[in-house]
């Protein structure tokens, strides 16, 4: 099956890749900015510097609470967008950007404090750099972004659970020993899934480029 050309009013392109249907949204969502999901995403982004400061000054419990509140808004904005038809192009960028920013900020802060090795941070940054290199090829062919793969969702979930647990594991609370073990288990599994998802996106991008050039 070859890729369909995007219509002027927007469409979804489909291609059978790796045993499932890949969808690239060309311009399906609206150009609205002030929607409830977007406001929630903006609030999540505004919380990033506060979270960073809390971690760096050692207010770990408050940092974890802030992250928990942020994660709850992450779940909420997606449900609101789907239920009330408030999907937007801005939201498609803001939501995953907030997730990646939180992961990056947590990893950097923990590396600065010596809680996680810098090598772990490099593993995460390497994957994000690889994804960044795919953007020009997609944009040049009219695609806004790749759809979020379920492996990527699992990876994000694992990392957003893992790093706060690792942070708690560095403390002296009763739950710290268990949090440290569980946190590192999620951290390495999340990093593995993070790269796995990245390689899936690379394969999708190459297949997309190949088929669009052939059509």
Helix extents (H) in the chain:
36-56, 60-83, 89-112, 118-132, 135-140, 150-169, 176-214
The pLDDT value recorded for residue 91 is: 65
Helix (H) / strand (E) element for 5: namely none
| 13, part of any domain | no
113-123 as b/e: b if 16+ CB within 10 A: eebbeeebbeb
| 192, part of any domain | yes
| 14, part of any domain | no
Task: Residue 63: give the domain boundaries.
Answer: 36-214
| 134, part of any domain | yes
| 23, part of any domain | no
107 closest CA partner among 192, 197, 191: 191
Per residue in 125-164, pLDDT (tens digit) is: 999 999 999 988 888 877 766 777 899 889 988 998 999 9
- Say which CATH number the domain at 87 has: 1.20.120.1760
Query: Model's pTM, two decimal places?
Result: 0.78
| 27, part of any domain | no
**2, pLDDT greater than 70:** no
**205, pLDDT greater than 70:** yes
């Amino acid at each position: 099956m070859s890729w369909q050309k995007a219509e002027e009013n927007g469409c979804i392109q489909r291609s059978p890749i790796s045993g499932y249907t890949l969808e690239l949204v060309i311009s399906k969502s609206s150009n609205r900015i002030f929607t409830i999901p977007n406001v929630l995403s903006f609030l999540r982004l505004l919380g990033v510097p506060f979270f960073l400061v809390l971690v760096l000054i050692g207010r770990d419990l408050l940092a974890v609470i802030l992250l928990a509140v942020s994660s709850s808004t992450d779940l909420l904005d997606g449900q609101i967008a789907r239920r009330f038809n408030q999907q937007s192009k801005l939201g498609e960028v803001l939501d995953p950007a907030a997730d990646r920013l939180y992961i990056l900020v947590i990893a950097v802060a923990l590396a600065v404090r010596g809680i996680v090795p810098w090598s772990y941070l490099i593993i995460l940054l390497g994957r994000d750099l690889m994804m960044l290199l795919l953007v020009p090829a997609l944009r040049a062919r009219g695609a806004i972004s790749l759809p979020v793969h379920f492996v990527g969702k699992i990876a994000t979930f694992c990392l957003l659970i893992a790093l706060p647990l690792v942070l708690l594991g560095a403390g002296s609370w009763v739950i710290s020993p268990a949090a440290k073990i569980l946190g590192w288990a999620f951290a390495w599994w999340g990093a593995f899934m993070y790269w796995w998802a990245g390689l899936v996106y690379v394969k999708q991008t190459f297949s997309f480029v190949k088929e669009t050039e052939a059509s």
